[in-house]
Amino acid sequence: MMRPMHASEFKLHPFHATPGGSAIAIQGSLSRDGGRLRLAYRLTGALWGVSIAPPATSSERRHELWKETCFECFVQPAGSTAYWELNLSPAGHWNLYRFDAYRRGMREESAIAQTPFAVQREADRMDLVTAFDLDALGIGAAVLAIGLTAVIRAPDGRLDYWALVHPDTKPDFHHPKSFVLAL
């Protein structure tokens, strides 16, 4: 069930909680200004334990970014089965997919040709900030259900799945019950 969003801050939780907690934390903020969605992720902690691709010389639209460290935003207009998945790589690459319904009809969204974002990295912190054009998708005025997630790749290749909530017995960012913020 969606809960109305009163504050713009969020915190992601790992699918597999480890005893004593994780060596990293993922939090951020989300806000809306008319037809634009502003999203900021902050990864903090032991970043030496996270595989982060080096910055690319130019940002490109790429597939399968979720096979590496990747930050994601799922956006679904209230009352619709259709939704979008935005993927952002710390290297500067991105992609935006549209789905007709739960995991059906996946295709690149052609209404947006570029999603600029900035990445800043320090020894124990990485920030990723973007502004997403909802008007270009025709959903700028809609009430939105939002799911925020991240895939974190360890240097040994293991993938950890982080989300606002994990409503199933396996990590599934597309699960309709994971779109828990209303904006």
- CATH number, residue 56: 2.60.40.1190
* pLDDT confidence band for 20 (50 / 70 / 90): low
* pLDDT confidence band for 18 (50 / 70 / 90): low
Q: Is residue 136 in some structural domain? A: yes
Measured CA distances, 52 to 75, 103, 118, 151, 152 (Å)? 25, 27, 15, 11, 9
CB 154 within 8 A of CB 18: no
User: pLDDT tens, 109-159?
Assistant: 999 998 889 999 999 999 999 998 999 999 999 999 999 999 999 999 999
Q: Is residue 173 in some structural domain? A: no
Domain tally, the chain? 1
Q: Is residue 128 in some structural domain? A: yes
Q: Is residue 73 in some structural domain? A: yes
Question: Domain span at residue 38?
Answer: 3-168+178-182
Q: Is residue 88 in some structural domain? A: yes
CB 8 within 8 A of CB 30: yes
Q: For all residues of the chain together, what is the average pLDDT?
A: 91
